[in-house]
Structures are given as structure tokens and as C-alpha cells.
Chains A and B, each alone.
Chain A
């Protein structure tokens, strides 16, 4: 069971959290101005990288806040977590042994 660092509460067990899909996909400000292709991409197209992935998580059974996380899909481990609205941190390489501490 992973330990996830809520940016508001600190390290907590995975059971308290809910995964909420890929991060940094902003809802278009004027959806009706979107072409069908643009809207379809917003709705359905998601990345499936091998390696670093930015994800949304919610501390469902804690503070209830949404936040973003960088996770290495090859190791499953979190590299860092950060608040919504903050830019994706520049992180290279892979997660350290045992993941984020």
C-alpha cells in the first residue's frame, strides 16, 4: 500500500485517496467554441506514458482536497505532489528507492 503525501495533510496511506485521472487538463473556457475534434480530445484523449506521469488525486477520506502528483508509472512510486494551480515540477529521472518520503 503506497504512502501518498497530501500537500495539505502530509503522508497518509493510499486507502484515504482517490485517483482522478490525468492532471493539467483544463476545461476549455468556452466549450461551445470548440470544434468537434478539439472537444473530443478534451473529453477522451489521455496520455499513457511509460515513466513520469502527472495525475490528479483527491484526499477523499482526509481533507477532501484535490491535488496533483508526479508518479513514475514504471515503479508505481510517487515522486512529488503539489497543489492545484501550481505548475508541473521539473523532475527528471525515476523515483528514488522507496519513492517519495
Chain B
């Protein structure tokens, strides 16, 4: 029933009673529940799973876990659910799974790009850097299109992600990363006395390397039973959280670790209502890193052919999945631990053609065990090459004499080559935590040294060899972590029966005849970097490993050097003739493995991406056809088009309505701060450039706030509600920073002042009624309140009632017309608005938006902070010198305003511009020159800050900042544009009602 020709008769942790159908590159296969895509393909005899990144060489599975660099596949559920760059070794098989290989065209078996392999001299180290230096034209037309098509890892989905992603924060006493023997022992010890423990592992099943140890006995029980019992114990403890399929990918300051939990990825039909993945941000009091170790490949010519893989991978495929990776196997061993692969495969009926040990003297125990099992062992050998294209068919071994000459060359037929150069501790997270790595001379690897965060490592990730030592170290680490977190732990001793071999090997490249670096001897499989590339980079002058990494791309991208880092360092140090630690170490970057963007976005998508701040009259504006604009988070009505109107027509109509009759505007977004206390006037006096001691109750004043450096920071109308109470308005965007600045001075410079600050922006709805008919509109609504010019002149305020709604009524104008701003509690905003609206219909009242507001204020030359000012403009530059109370002994910014540079000639000053051609509307931001025809770079004297078509004037107007502008009145300046310079006359920055008579009616 099954084509699983490479499956063992029994054993493994798969469910042989349940078949799973899947396709790979369109071809149908079967596997079992519990398989990964990788193990199921191997069970079907499929080794060829991908093409390499640069040379498009056929590639097979190198590893069985997270470190797999070759078998990157896309898993496709539908057009929107296409996940590229998944490691086949981590893709759990489900019914109907559709997987595709990457980096190949038109097919995996026949890939046109493999011509790159023949042309490999054209793709040397630094290929991209060198190409970038080729002529620009060639890059755009030839190389970029070709390189873009051929390079890159995988293709992204083409539709928006339909899945949901969750995020949550968690706190615990002890976070244990990795649920192998060390991690489980740590979690058992740490949680025994009540400390809260979170244990996570990237795999679906807890156990780590124990799952590959069928012959181990722990505390007199088979390892599998001990594991089962231990997990049951942990599950039974309420203070323990177990997270499988959860990768800890980032270690941030103060023990904040990020975990990626995959919830539905392994399901044939993802459960509905469940997020696809979840981001955990865990703040742990203490951390135990039990992240294990990764076996290193050996670097020899042809070490990347399909069928050449890590010895540990062969063990995992055999012991966990019941898959034989070959029928005639050669093991190239660089450490004792590798021998176990040969022993276990042989026990499963696989012919071991040879154990070729690259060391002259293997460990005695494993050597003896091999010989007694009848396996031929050669020692002190090197590998000269392999054969085969889509699958390895043979290997050439030899001894090298001291003079580099070849002796005892022999070629063995085989269909799988296992290799092991020893193990590299997985120190990625420790390194991310900024812990200092230490080079262990005996083991020739980097291990965790001094901690920066409150963490400790246990087991293989700190170079610990042997199961018993790993378990006990884990147990002790768990105990010490619980104790450091202020709880108690319970360390245990373990006894173990197991034939073990040391994981210690020597990083680097296998020696070759003549000591020439071999070609096609891959150091970094994922990035297609060979030892020859590394040698070339060094010849070209790249000394530092960080430079070599970037030049060759060794250890970069999604792989982050999991299998390549140490071999690269071993090679570089040997070439340089220095000790390995002297060669330096590149930085491990997060994430440890690629992470779906979705978990970072989490819930913050669509409507939840950003908060929306509607004004109190938002519903009315929507109902009346407003076009909105985003101002920060605010939704502001921009204009209210009538049928057939574009923005220009609508704004012209709205402007004329305000000038000739009356308009209605929602000014609720203005920032509002209530400044209260016996010292409120003193406080504002010290802060603003104006004098507030002289502001009477019931009066308003236009206030300007400068920073200590003298430049305009904010402005707004300030009303004195009472002796000790001011209503301060700010710009819409400036409210938070003005309050922050006020708090700063109040708390840190003048803590003696009796002043309290309250943001009231959200509390008031502000309805601006502007235009010559404004008084007639509101008079009937205010219960007899005297709103005559005599009783309520320009820049005054009064409390009253708008119908039954309490209000602060301010006579202020940002339009230059008779105007009122009716402040009512925000909850009454829309009702108040509708009251005014109803009263205004008889006068043809027109709602207007921000666009019209801008035009109207520009016609009057009123500045907008942030438009006419840019952080380098003083009050005087902006034509606001009149507001500065020079008689005051001090205010924030006063000393700076006396600095020579701020009073020097040549400062840019605010002026008006009238284009010679009245229909021409200048571009805001356009530069200004005194002379039209100039060689580039021109001498520029200023820029346009605001520019509009003015309906009431029937022409364009503009505001500009021009050097010594006030001395240029009447003169012509030029605005250079692509179509030629535009001439404009410099005028005073007030275009309409220059005497301000309309304000005082």
C-alpha cells in the first residue's frame, strides 16, 4: 500500500496505522502521522529537495532539524496562504499537504539555473559587491533583472494574509528554553517547590535528543519512559506552562524573551477561531537556556550532493521516523558521537561500507564497538570528492602524506554519506542577551562565558558532553534559577546507561592535496559559500570575520550560520595561522529562525491598526458628505462637496460663504490645557512670550510659545476664565508636547509654583461660527446673553448657556471675520452643532473644512506653526514680534532671542507673494531666487510656505519665508520651476481686510 521503500519494519515515533497523503512538486506521496515532510520524502527514497541559492546545485537534506539549510520549501494552502522558506525538516505532515521546492526552473530535476554551477568562476565571493560597481546602465538593464529572477529565497504570497495572529505577555519565575534532557531536568527541578515555570520547545514533541536515543536508560528506565513520566509530572503541576511548537527567537534586555507559538500550521484543516500563530513576550525573573548543540558538516569537495548528510540527521530519521537514509552508507567521522549513527543503522539492516575517521586516533570505546560489529574503520583519512548528480553514488577517500601527496586513494560505492565534524553549542540566544562567549580550547568551540542577563545555560549548549552530565547540569540550573527568583528548587542526581561518544571535533576544512582549498567544498550550504570563496575573500584583503561574512554572505540570512559559523572560523584561522578565537566571531542576530510577519502585526491590522479620533460632530459630518483628512489620529472634515463639485469648487464656495455670510467649522481638535492655581498667571508669564499678568478675566490673548532656543514651538489663544484659571489652546498636533513642556518646567524648574495642569482637549467640543452673520445666528440661542460688540468685543469670552447646554463663548477668529467659538462639553457637541446649524440655515450657513480654514487664514496672513515655521523661525521672523513682551525680565526663549545670530541681518522673514500671473498657484515648498537665470546651484533666498487660490480675491496668494523679506516689499522674486521661473511680487503677508476692520464689527 505504501511506497515507503526506505521505511524500517518497525520502530520510530510515527503512527504507522495512519497514512497521510501529500504532494511535493505536484507528485503524490504518502507518509504517516508523525512524519515531517523531510522524513516522509526520505521514506519514499526522495533525497533531492532543493536547488542551491547561487549555483542551483541539486541539494538534499543535510539535517533533520532547525539547522537544515537546503530543504527550504513553500507550503501552499491556497493563493493567500503560501508560506515560503520553510524547512522541510520542520514541516509536520498533514493530510493533503502541498509543498513545492524553491530556487529551480523549470523543474527540480532539470534546472536551467544549474548552468551557474558551470559558470561558477563568474559568481565568486563578493559577486554582488562587484556587480554593483559595474556600469550603472548594465546593472539596470542586465544584471538586476537577471539577478532578481535567479536569486532570493522563495516567493512571498500575492494576497493579503487572511489568518489571525495573537500576542500576549507573560511573566514567570523561570523560563526554560529547550525541552531536551537538560531543559526537562531544569523544569522539573525549578518547578518542584512552586516557582512558576514556562518551558518551550520548537518541536511538536518534547524530548530533544532523547527522542533519538532508543538505547538509553535513565534512572533504570528506558529514556522514553523517563521522558513520558517527567512530562506527566510537569503537566500535573499547576505552576508549569508547557509550550510546544514554540520557538524562542529573541532575547531582549531585562529578560524579555520573544516566543513564536505555531498553533494551526500542522493541521490539515486549521481550526477556526484559533490564531495561526501567537507571539509571547515573556518577562522572566530567571532564564535557563537549554538549547542544545548542532552537528557540524565536514568541508570536502562535493559535500553538498543529495545523500550527503549529518550523522545526527541519519539517527533522527531512523530513530524518530523509522527511515533509513540509505542502503549502503559511508560514515565520515570527525568525532566519536558520529559512530552511533553507524551502529544504529547497521542494527536496522543498513550496510555500513566504511567508517572513515578523519582523526588518526578515534575514541577507544567507539572504535572497539565498530570493530566488534564488523564495520571496517579507516583512520586519518580525508575525502577527495564524491560522485553523483541528483544523488550521491560514491566517495573517494585517501590518506595525505606529510608532503601533501595522495596515498591509498580508494573509491567506495554508496548511496548515502554521513558526516560529523563534532558539535557546535547553540549559543544564539545567549549571544543575543549580550553574554560574552568564551572559547573552550579542549572542545574547540565557543561556550557561554559571563552573563549579562539573569540567565544560565545547561547541557550541550554550554559544551557539556554526555547524557548524565546534561541531566544533572539541567537539574542544577533549574534549582539555581528558582532560588535566584526567590523560590526554592530541587536538584536531583541521575544515573544513565548508554554507549556514548564525545561530541568534540575540530572545526575547519578537510586537508586536500597540495593544501589547496578545494572548490565545491561548501562551508555555508544555504548561501552557497565554499572554502574557495573564503580564501578568495581573504586574498582580496578582507581580514575581519565580519567583513568576510558580508563579502561572501557566509552565515547570513535566515540561516544565521547554524551549521557554517565554526567551520568558517576554523578555516579563516587556519589560513591566517592564528588560534581560532583570535579570528573573532560574528554576531548572532535575531530572530533565531525566520518569523512570520503576522505575529508582529498581531491584532494591529485594519481598523485596529491605529486608534481613530473622531470629533464630537463626526456623525453629522459623515451624514453631510464631508471628505475627511487624517491629522495625526484625528479625522477632520476637509471639505463638504456638493454634487458635481471638486475640491477646488467646494473650497471656493465655502470661502465665499464665510466672507459674505456665515460658515460653521468644527475646531474641536485644537489642543486644550487648563492651567489652574494661584501662580497660574506667573507660570504662563514665564513660559509664553506674551504678558499674561495684564490679561483681564474674560479676555483672550494670542499666545506664542518658544523653546529655550528662541524658536517658535506652538501658538494658540489663551483665555483667562478667572484670576487663577486659564484656558490654553494649542495647535492640533502640539497638544501633547506643549503639556509635556509645561509639566517639565513646572516639575523640574519651578516646583515652588502652585499650578495644576489638566489636558481638556477631549472634554470640549468647539464650534466655530465665522462670518459677518455670525452674531445673528447665535444671538437667539444664548438665552438673552449680550453678545453685542460692546459687551463681547473681539478677543473676549463669557460663560453662558447655548439653549440648555453650558458653554464657554469666545469671540475669536481664525478667518478675519466676526467669529465665535462655542465651547460645550464634548458629549453635547453634536446637539449643540445641530442647534447652531438649524439657526444658521436662514442665513445660508455653510459647513466648511480644514482646506477652507487654511485659505481663509492665509488671506489674513495668520501663520500655522509647522507650516510657516520649521523649528528655526523666531517670533520676529514670523512677523509676530509684536506679541513678544520685551519688558518682561525673562521668559522661556528670551535670552536666546538676544543671541547675535537671531537678530542678525539676512534672517528669513515672513512675507506675502503675489504671482505676476494671478492664476498661477505656487507650489508649497518651492524655492525662491532673487535672479531668475542663474547657473545651478542657484543662490536661493527663501521658500514658499503656503499657497492657495483665493476666491474672494480672485487670484492666487502665497506666504513665504524670504531672507530680509521685509526689506524687499514691492520687489520681484523668482520661483524656479521645471517649466521656467515664475515671477512674483513681494508684499505684506496680509491680503484681505488689511486694517482688520471686519474683526471688530
A interface list, Cβ under 8 A from B: 1-3, 13, 18, 20, 26-27, 30-32, 34, 36, 39-40, 43, 56, 58, 60, 64-66, 75-77, 84-85, 97-99
**Which residues of chain A are near B453, meaning CB under 8 Å?**
97-98
Closest 5 CB pairs of A and B: A31-B895, A98-B454, A3-B254, A66-B747, A1-B256
- Contacting pair A34 B895 (CB below 8 A): yes
**Which residues of chain B are near A18, meaning CB under 8 Å?**
740
CB 8 Å contact bits of B275-289 with A (1 = contact, 0 = none): 000000101000000
Query: Closest residue to B435 on the A side, CB-wise?
Result: A97
- Contacting pair B748 A39 (CB below 8 A): no
- Contacting pair B743 A31 (CB below 8 A): no
- Contacting pair B899 A36 (CB below 8 A): yes
**Which residues of chain A are near B451, meaning CB under 8 Å?**
97
CB 8 Å contact bits of B82-106 with A (1 = contact, 0 = none): 0000000000000000000000000
Interface residues of B in 282-334 (CB under 8 A from A): 283
Query: Closest residue to B707 on the A side, CB-wise?
Result: A43
* Residue of A2, A20, A34, A43 with most partner-chain B CB within 10 A: A43
Query: Closest residue to A60 on the B side, CB-wise?
Result: B740
Q: How far is the CA of A96 from the CA of B205 in the complex (A)?
A: 37
* Contact among B252, B747, B751, B894 for A32, CB-based, below 8 A: B894
Size bin of chain B's contact surface: 20 to 34
Give me 8 A-to-B residue pairs in the complex whose CB atoms sit less than 8 angstroms apart, sorted by A's number. A1-B252, A1-B254, A66-B744, A66-B747, A75-B434, A84-B748, A97-B451, A99-B254
- Contacting pair B253 A43 (CB below 8 A): no
Q: How far is the CA of A65 from the CA of B21 in the complex (A)?
A: 62
- Contacting pair A43 B709 (CB below 8 A): yes
- Contacting pair A39 B747 (CB below 8 A): no
* Contact among A31, A84, A98 for B894, CB-based, below 8 A: A31
Q: How far is the CA of A58 from the CA of B256 in the complex (A)?
A: 22
Query: Closest residue to B750 on the A side, CB-wise?
Result: A27
- Contacting pair A97 B743 (CB below 8 A): no
Q: Within the complex, what minimum Cβ distance (angstroms) separates B387 from chain A? A: 53
**Which residues of chain B are near A75, meaning CB under 8 Å?**
434, 452
Q: How far is the CA of A2 from the CA of B890 in the complex (A)?
A: 39
* Contact among B253, B749, B896 for A39, CB-based, below 8 A: B896
Q: How far is the CA of A62 from the CA of B894 in the complex (A)?
A: 32
In the complex, whether B796 has a CB less than 8 A from a CB of chain A is no
Query: Closest residue to A31 on the B side, CB-wise?
Result: B895
Q: How far is the CA of A31 from the CA of B749 in the complex (A)?
A: 13
**Which residues of chain B are near A84, meaning CB under 8 Å?**
747-748, 751
- Contacting pair A27 B749 (CB below 8 A): yes
Q: Given A43-B708, A84-B748, decide whether A98 and B254 contact each other with a Cβ distance below 8 A.
A: yes
Number of A-B residue pairs at CB separation under 8 A: 66
**Which residues of chain A are near B708, meaning CB under 8 Å?**
27, 43
- Contacting pair A43 B256 (CB below 8 A): no
**Which residues of chain B are near A32, meaning CB under 8 Å?**
889-890, 894-895, 898
- Contacting pair B452 A97 (CB below 8 A): yes
In the complex, whether B255 has a CB less than 8 A from a CB of chain A is yes
Q: Within the complex, what minimum Cβ distance (angstroms) separates B894 from chain A? A: 7
Interface residues of B in 318-368 (CB under 8 A from A): none
Q: Within the complex, what minimum Cβ distance (angstroms) separates A17 from chain B? A: 12
**Which residues of chain A are near B281, meaning CB under 8 Å?**
1
Q: Given A43-B709, A97-B453, decide whether A77 and B751 contact each other with a Cβ distance below 8 A.
A: no
Q: Within the complex, what minimum Cβ distance (angstroms) separates B734 from chain A? A: 16
Q: How far is the CA of A74 from the CA of B482 in the complex (A)?
A: 29
- Contacting pair A58 B740 (CB below 8 A): yes
Q: How far is the CA of A45 from the CA of B890 in the complex (A)?
A: 22
**Which residues of chain A are near B979, meaning CB under 8 Å?**
none
Q: Within the complex, what minimum Cβ distance (angstroms) separates A57 from chain B? A: 11
* Contact among B254, B434, B748, B898 for A2, CB-based, below 8 A: B254
Q: Given A1-B252, A2-B253, A3-B254, decide whether A64 and B454 contact each other with a Cβ distance below 8 A.
A: no
* Residue of A20, A31, A40 with most partner-chain B CB within 10 A: A31
- Contacting pair B452 A30 (CB below 8 A): no
- Contacting pair B751 A85 (CB below 8 A): yes
In the complex, whether B980 has a CB less than 8 A from a CB of chain A is no
**Which residues of chain B are near A60, meaning CB under 8 Å?**
740
**Which residues of chain B are near A20, meaning CB under 8 Å?**
744
Q: How far is the CA of A56 from the CA of B745 in the complex (A)?
A: 13
In the complex, whether B900 has a CB less than 8 A from a CB of chain A is yes
Query: Closest residue to A40 on the B side, CB-wise?
Result: B899
Interface residues of B in 234-280 (CB under 8 A from A): 252-256
Query: Closest residue to B746 on the A side, CB-wise?
Result: A66
Query: Closest residue to B281 on the A side, CB-wise?
Result: A1
Q: Within the complex, what minimum Cβ distance (angstroms) separates B673 from chain A? A: 13
CB 8 Å contact bits of B912-925 with A (1 = contact, 0 = none): 00000000000000
- Contacting pair B454 A97 (CB below 8 A): yes
**Which residues of chain A are near B889, meaning CB under 8 Å?**
30, 32
**Which residues of chain A are near B898, meaning CB under 8 Å?**
32
